[in-house]
Structure 1
Amino acid sequence: MKTEMVMKETKADTSKQEYIEILGDTVVPSRILLSVIISIIASIGGYFLGKSIFPQIAEAKMVSSYSLLLGIGGSVVALIICSRLFKPSRILMEEETTSEGLEEILRDLQADPSSEYELIKNDPVTKKEMEELGILDTFKRNGER
């Protein structure tokens, strides 16, 4: 019997923290709030810094454009700062699973194996990827039941 590799997601931090879902990702509210504050300060700070510096070194009609670019640069700096401060709090672990495990995953996702197999069968790109991963046969067995 052929086995497949499935990525299982677990939380690295076992302490009881409250999480919220934003754009399909689960985050800690305090971290997202701090990230937003850092981003606002860096981008608006960069814009107003440009408004005070660029009138002395650039043409008057270009001051707003240069200031906006400096504000965008501040957003990029904020992105780097936030990515350094807030590391992902999840660990992905690989574990082997059998076709029964795949059936359980499909049940958890409330997906019908036969309709999933039909979608895979009718899409040559997806079918090729599933063959390369070695899991097409499992979908085929589950889909033909």
Structure 2
Amino acid sequence: MELDKINEAPKYLEILGDTVLPRNIILAIIISIILSLSGYLLGERLFPLFASEKMVSSYSLLLGIGGSVLSLALCAFIFKPSRVLTEEETSLESMEEIFKDMQLDPKEEYLLIEEDPVTRKEMEALGVLDKFRTIGEDDKK
């Protein structure tokens, strides 16, 4: 029974196009709330001692925002990215599918690349320019 839990893959959530562990996102929210609210409440007690009454809430809010920025840095340090990026060879079929999904004309894209020497050089270095040529030739037929 214990072995099943160990071998079980963690369950991720997708939030704003990124995958996160639910435990990590909850902890990050709690840390953010604590630091932001602490900054604001500290400002509410500290600023009346030397700031005008009109400015106390503004300065406190600014200190709360500072707490948010601090929590951002802290959470970025504590919770390292958990995604794994894999590289795979680009095939002609996958490029054609990408062009279809993005509603792009490969021939038009190839002409734009040919006009820009920097982009052409990068595409040649990546070995992708020949695939653009091939796709463009297939469209002519």
Letter in 1 for 2:92: E
Q: 1:123 to 1:51 in 2, by over 3 A?
A: farther
Partner of 1:28: 21
Tell me which of the two structures has the higher relative contact order, counting C-alpha pairs closer than 8 angstroms and 6 or more residues apart.
1
Shift of 1:44: 1.5
Identity %: 45
Q: 1:119 to 1:59 in 2, by over 3 A?
A: farther
Counterpart secondary structure, 2:55: helix
Shift of 1:57: 1.5
Contact kept? 2:107, 2:132, Cα under 8 Å: no
Aligned-residue CA RMSD in angstroms?
A: 3.0
**In 1: Cα distance, 2:98 partner to 2:82 partner:** 27
Partner of 2:91: 102
Shift of 1:38: 0.9
Counterpart secondary structure, 2:54: helix
Q: 1:88 to 1:104 in 2, by over 3 A?
A: farther
**In 2: Cα distance, 1:120 partner to 1:40 partner:** 47
Q: Would you tell me which structure has more helix in proportion to its own residues?
A: 2
Contact kept? 2:92, 2:131, Cα under 8 Å: no
Q: 1:19 aligns with which of 12, 17, 24?
A: 12
Counterpart secondary structure, 1:90: coil
Structure-to-structure mapping, 1:24-103, within 5 angstroms: 24-92=17-85, 94=87, 97=89, 101-103=90-92
Letter in 2 for 1:103: L
Contact kept? 2:20, 2:82, Cα under 8 Å: no
From the CA coordinates, give the structure whose radius of gyration is larger.
2
Q: 1:24 to 1:123 in 2, by over 3 A?
A: farther
Q: 1:71 to 1:118 in 2, by over 3 A?
A: farther
Mind listing any 5+ residue stretches in structure 2 that lack a counterpart? 1-6
Mind listing any 5+ residue stretches in structure 1 that lack a counterpart? 1-13
Q: Would you tell me which structure has more strand in proportion to its own residues?
A: 1
Contact kept? 1:115, 1:143, Cα under 8 Å: no
Q: 1:122 to 1:55 in 2, by over 3 A?
A: farther
Contact kept? 1:55, 1:63, Cα under 8 Å: yes
